[in-house]
Amino acid sequence: MASVSVTLEKIVSLCKRRGFVYPSSEIYSGLNGVYDFGPLGALLKQNIKNAWLEQMMSFKEEVVFVDGAILGAPEVWKASGHVDNFSDPLVDCLSCKKRFRADEFKLEDGCPNCGAKTWTDVRQFKLMFQTQLGAVADENSIAYLRPETAQAIFVNFKNVISSYRVKVPFGIAQIGKAFRNEITPKQFLFRMREFEQMEMEFFCKGEEADKFFELWVARRVEFFKSIGLNSEKIRTRAHATDELAHYAKGCFDVEYNFPFGWKELEGIANRTNFDLSQHSKFAGKELAVFDEETKTSYVPHVVECSVGVDRLFLTLLFDSYYEDEVEGEPRIVLRLHPKMAPITAAILPLTNKLREQSEKVFFDLKKLGFRIQYDTSGSIGKRYRRQDEVGTPICFTFDFESLEDGCVTARNRDTLQQERVAIDQLPAYLNNLLGK
């Protein structure tokens, strides 16, 4: 049966109820724009990152990985342009005192909260979190929490080339936390103050940048389809010149059709040689490479693919959320791609009398590294619903016949079909499900 409309409220409630996401510091009333991930959320996040790493390593061009520090020297962020340019226009309503981003609505239409039309001047609000290193708080102790992971890649470009013997064209990828003091964090995981990014900077010759830019846009769209996103809800959109970030010559957003409209899921940018040139200038270090063919040095250009782990997490939940009916009973089901599902299969003994034998099946599969849950409480129907709601693709029921024929009943989350599967074939069955 088709999905009824999914709303942000339904997703937030499911996330809380089933242990995907909690508001951070909740017992102290929460921290705006900051979230914690629960047991299932942590697993889903891990699956997202694994799938991304897998794709990055699957092409003929080499992509290597780094894991940079979150704290950065101020010079890094001066050179990158963030200290001067990374800000949003901020305005306060003089009547209700609420604060807004001035580029999100027309000021002359009035305050979205109270309708008044009197405003403070628009000022630029710096998005980077600043902190102090050490005991003395002065100009020299300033450090920033990184607002993007990319800069750790640029500042380590030479380190990677000289220590790992890679040759242009190649990519450096990184998954890690980023921090932005968003004026209006909103839509749950869509715009957060602390979030995680998966970024890949692909270094190439300037004359090849357009070719690789096109190639990576196609690859990244393919990625989203490969993890199960509905292709009708994905599109690409080229940035208009006045939308481009200070470092970009061209940018394509991969957008998803969220319940609140088409919005950016990933940005793919042609960053030219802006970053390496800036760091070279500010640090006074040579960041060029030598071209054996032409016997000249050049500063590589960069094609960047940048997506938020949390934003993709939210997208997967919206995309997979369905409400339907099974045998006259309503159910919520997450039709997650098996590779994305936090739990791959559940073992459900028909009664507690079968605990010992069914637990053996459970432990054997766990030992092989499968994500398996064991659930004994409630009717089989109730247990199916619980697994459906968190996206578990397969439930294996262990019944009295299992003792005789060495098989369990596999019930499919989406087709609801049931089949008997030999217990010794379960690893192969699950590997097949996971596309391994």
Binding site for ligand GAP (CB under 6 A): 148, 150, 180, 182, 191-192, 195, 197, 199, 264-267, 304, 306-308, 310-311
Q: Name which of 55 and 306 has its Cβ closer to ligand GAP.
A: 306
Least Å distance, CB 185 to ligand GAP, is 7
Residue closer to ligand GAP, measured from CB, 150 or 361: 150
Q: Per the structure block, which two tokens stand in for 75?
A: 């010079």
**CB within 8 A of 321, min separation 6: which ones?**
3, 6, 10, 11, 14, 332, 333, 334
Token pair in block for residue 10: 């339904």
- For residue 46, the minimal CB distance to ligand GAP (Å) is 18
Bridging pattern class, strands 21-23 and 35-37: antiparallel
* In the complex, minimum distance from the CB of residue 129 to ligand GAP, in angstroms, rounded to a whole number: 12
Residue whose CB is less far from ligand GAP, 307 or 316: 307
Give me the least distance between CB of 108 and ligand GAP, in Å please.
27
Toward ligand GAP, which CB reaches closer, 263 or 385? 263
Shortest distance in whole angstroms from residue 186 CB to ligand GAP:
9
What is the C-alpha to C-alpha distance for residues 328 and 10, in angstroms, rounded to an integer?
21
Count CB neighbours of 276 within 10 A.
23
- Cβ 178 to ligand GAP, closest distance in Å? 7
Tell me how far, at minimum, the Cβ of 199 lies from ligand GAP, in Å: 6
CB 64 within 8 A of CB 173: yes
> Least separation, in Å, of the C-beta of 387 and ligand GAP?
29
Nearer to ligand GAP by Cβ, of 209 and 423: the residue is 209
d(CA 72, CA 104): 30
- Which residue, 182 or 389, has its beta carbon nearer to ligand GAP? 182
Residue nearest to ligand GAP (CB): 308
Measured from the CB atom, is 55 or 392 closer to ligand GAP? 55
Q: Which is nearer to ligand GAP, 192 or 346 (CB)?
A: 192
For tokens 């957008």, the residue is 255
Q: Does residue 348 contact residue 383 with C-beta atoms inside 8 Å?
A: yes
* Nearest distance, CB of residue 127 and ligand GAP, angstroms: 9
* Nearer of residues 183 and 423 to ligand GAP, judged by Cβ: 183
